[in-house]
């Protein structure tokens, strides 16, 4: 059971999800700051209120009221988040995917992947260069390992 839990935690999807949650939280704070600092005061000034939450209040008996301004603020917040996600993430990724599809259909590889050089590859290359520059060995002797 513990091994299964370890495998679950170590999956790339869980880590990607954790990063997405952290970035999403930071992004939400940024958008909320923009809405409350810029858009809410502008809209509230149109309705002569200190904040958007205090504007368009429909008073009810008992002192409470329906806060239409707060709903409008939440709607603006949602629209801003949706616009930024679309224009900053979805649209560029769609354009990239379209370009890759065009290259794939034209027979051009999307990216040339060069095999990464490992330490063993480097050591083998050094050995071969040293052997090439060394004095020629007797014909019946092979390289020493």
Domains and CATH numbers, the chain: 1-58+65-132 (1.10.1200.120)
Cβ atoms within 10 A of the Cβ of 69, count?
A: 20
Burial class (CB within 10 angstroms; exposed 0-12, middle 13-18, buried 19+) of 126: exposed
pLDDT at 95: 92
CA distances from 120 to 94, 116, 126, 133 (A): 40, 11, 10, 20
- Please say if the pLDDT value at position 133 is more than 80: yes
Q: Residues 53-60: what's their mean pLDDT? A: 82
- Please say if the pLDDT value at position 9 is more than 80: no
Identify the H or E element spanning 136: none
Name which of 61, 60, 62, 42 is nearest 52 in CA terms: 42
Q: If you average pLDDT over every residue of the chain, what do you get?
A: 78
- Please say if the pLDDT value at position 136 is more than 80: no
- Please say if the pLDDT value at position 28 is more than 70: yes
- Please say if the pLDDT value at position 121 is more than 60: yes
The pLDDT-based confidence of 132 (bands split at 50, 70, 90) is: confident
The pLDDT-based confidence of 110 (bands split at 50, 70, 90) is: low
């Amino acid at each position: 059971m513990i091994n299964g839990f370890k495998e679950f935690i170590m999956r790339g999807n869980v880590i990607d999800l954790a990063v997405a949650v952290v970035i999403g939280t930071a992004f939400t704070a940024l958008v909320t700051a923009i809405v409350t600092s810029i858009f809410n005061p502008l809209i509230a000034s149109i309705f002569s209120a200190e904040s958007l939450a205090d504007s368009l209040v429909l008073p009810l008996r008992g002192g409470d009221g329906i806060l239409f301004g707060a709903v409008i603020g939440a709607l603006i917040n949602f629209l801003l988040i949706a616009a930024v996600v679309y224009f900053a993430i979805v649209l560029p990724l769609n354009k990239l995917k379209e370009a890759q599809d065009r290259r794939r259909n034209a027979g051009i590889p999307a990216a040339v992947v060069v095999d990464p050089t490992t330490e063993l590859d480097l050591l083998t290359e050094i050995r071969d260069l040293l052997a090439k520059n060394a004095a020629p060995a007797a014909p019946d002797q092979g390289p020493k390992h």
